[in-house]
């Protein structure tokens, strides 16, 4: 056994009832709590960002293409989805393209009235996201030959209008001639995503219904929704698309279409940074205090070691060697506690949220091994460096004075 390891094992003891052992136990608890809080904060924020981003992208797709104009209303300017545009969008990172269109209107029953946006999709539309959030009914089957009257409404709209799956409902629209037009639809399915901003507005219908309401041709669309291959950077793809399409069209990413949601998500990053900095400082101060108390309590021992020929570097190694072990013990317990609590929340969803405020019904958790590893490595290095501060006291200890007052 090395001399430094032997001496440090005699100095650092958790079983003794002296002041240093109590301080070491407090330090372990502080380190464990600091690591667990940082892990939980990181897992929650990453979960928030990814789940809400998935919800928004599920509604509007990663990238949309529409006509470039100054029209701020929901009513869209149509364009031809022809061979020219299809050829320009034959890019390797584009997985699929969905022609769609939006039209603002009003849903009205005998008792209630509610503003909404009718979103028209065609027979090839990817219903995966809506199907995963369908709470009753089925997804409608659309075709190019027959115009379907089946629609999918959100639970929020269905509850406000006192509607159920299978009910007939009349939707009202204002045409370019300022005349009111009503259309009768049948509720085929009801969905609930938790993204209130979209659930309160969108009703899915056959794209041919909007073409008929607006007097468009069969190949007219309001916008194109672009789905990318997995893990391809959205902003990079948007730059390619923007310079590939005709000059009368423009492409937008999901965060440009819903900036208020993504800005709110960015604020969560600042909260995590503040929490991590606070935990690093609080636990770091505890570590410094622990080591400083042990050094001061063992002043006479340090004096004896110096009188026997030990230099400052040798003595510092004695204190740092055992302190790093205490640090690792605290970090181990902190990881077990933090990851354990995250797994409990992930699989039980015991902590609930208000969907109206947070867009989610429970606290989301996403554990990423790379994030956990980087957090632990960075924290260990920082706290290990902070341990050097109290050991500087060793340089100022005079053997003749410290031994005299033993």
Q: Is residue 255 part of a domain?
A: no
Placement of tokens 């209008």 in the chain: 161
Give the bridge partners for 115, in sequence order: 106
Residue 307 sits in the same domain as residue 171: no
Task: For residues 111 and 109, give the distance between their C-alpha atoms in angstroms, rounded to a whole number.
Answer: 5
**Total residue length of the chain:** 406
Q: Is residue 253 part of a domain?
A: no
How far CA 167 is from CA of 19, 135, 150, 152, in Å, comes to 75, 15, 10, 11
Query: Which tokens sit at 397?
Result: 């200890």
pLDDT at 221: 93
Residue 399: pLDDT band (50, 70, 90) is low
How far CA 376 is from CA of 40, 300, 334, 336, in Å, comes to 13, 35, 10, 12
Most trustworthy range by pLDDT among 194-208, 256-270, 318-332, 391-405: 194-208
Q: Is residue 280 part of a domain?
A: yes
pLDDT digits (tens, 9 = 90+) for 278-297: 888 888 888 888 778 777 77
Q: Among 219, 246, 273, which residue terminates a domain?
A: 246
Residue 313: pLDDT band (50, 70, 90) is confident
Q: What percent of the chain has pLDDT over 70?
A: 88
Q: Is residue 254 part of a domain?
A: no
Residue 135 sits in the same domain as residue 231: yes
Residue 398 sits in the same domain as residue 312: yes
Q: Is residue 100 part of a domain?
A: yes
Number of domains, the chain? 2
pLDDT at 341 over 90: yes
Residue 315 sits in the same domain as residue 270: yes
pLDDT digits (tens, 9 = 90+) for 34-79: 899 999 988 998 888 888 888 888 888 899 999 987 566 677 888 9
Q: Residue 273: give the domain boundaries.
A: 3-55+262-404
Q: Among 192, 211, 246, which residue terminates a domain?
A: 246
Task: For residues 234 and 248, give the distance between their C-alpha atoms in angstroms, rounded to a whole number.
Answer: 21
Give the bridge partners for 202, in sequence order: 117
Using the Cα atoms of residue 304, residue 307, residue 312 and residue 314 in order, give the sign of their dihedral.
negative
pTM check: above 0.85: no
pLDDT at 393 over 80: no
Residue 203 sits in the same domain as residue 281: no
Secondary structure class of 118 (helix, strand, coil) = strand
pLDDT at 140 over 90: yes
Residue 91 sits in the same domain as residue 223: yes
Residue 12 sits in the same domain as residue 101: no
């Amino acid at each position: 056994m090395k001399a430094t390891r032997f001496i440090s094992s005699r100095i650092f003891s958790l079983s003794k009832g002296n002041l240093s052992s109590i301080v070491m136990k407090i330090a372990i608890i502080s380190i464990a709590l600091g690591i667990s809080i940082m892990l939980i904060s990181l897992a929650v924020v990453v979960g928030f960002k990814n789940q809400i981003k998935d919800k928004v992208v599920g509604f509007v797709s990663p990238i949309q293409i529409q006509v470039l104009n100054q029209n701020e209303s929901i009513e869209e300017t149509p364009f031809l989805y022809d061979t020219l545009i299809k050829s320009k969008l034959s890019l390797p990172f584009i997985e699929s393209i969905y022609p769609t269109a939006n039209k603002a209107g009003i849903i009205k029953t005998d008792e209630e009235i509610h503003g909404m946006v009718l979103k028209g999709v065609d027979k090839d539309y990817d219903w995966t996201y809506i199907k995963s959030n369908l709470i009753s009914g089925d997804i409608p089957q659309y075709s190019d030959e027959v115009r379907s009257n089946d629609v999918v409404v959100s639970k929020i709209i269905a509850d406000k209008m006192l509607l159920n799956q299978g009910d007939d409902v009349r939707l009202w629209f204002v045409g370019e001639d300022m005349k009111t037009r009503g259309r009768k639809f049948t509720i085929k399915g009801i969905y609930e995503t938790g993204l209130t901003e979209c659930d309160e507005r969108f009703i899915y219908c056959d794209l041919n219904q909007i073409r008929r309401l607006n007097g468009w041709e069969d190949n007219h669309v309001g916008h194109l929704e672009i789905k990318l291959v997995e893990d391809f950077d959205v902003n990079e793809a948007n730059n390619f698309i923007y310079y590939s399409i005709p000059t009368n069209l423009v492409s937008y990413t999901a965060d440009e279409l819903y900036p208020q949601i993504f800005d709110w998500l960015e604020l969560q990053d600042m909260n995590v940074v503040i929490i991590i900095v606070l935990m690093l400082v609080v636990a770091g101060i505890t570590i410094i205090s622990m080591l400083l108390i042990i050094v001061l309590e063992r002043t006479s021992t340090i004096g004896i070691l110096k009188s026997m020929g030990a230099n400052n570097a040798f003595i510092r190694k004695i204190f740092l060697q055992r302190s790093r072990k205490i640090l690792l013990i605290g970090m181990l317990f902190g990881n077990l506690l933090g990851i354990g609590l995250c797994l409990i929340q992930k699989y039980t969803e015991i902590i609930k949220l208000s969907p109206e405020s947070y867009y989610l019904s429970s606290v989301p958790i996403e554990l990423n091994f790379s994030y956990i590893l980087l957090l632990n490595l960075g924290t260990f290095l920082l706290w290990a460096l902070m341990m050097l501060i109290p050991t500087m006291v060793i340089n100022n200890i005079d053997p003749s004075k410290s031994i005299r007052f033993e």
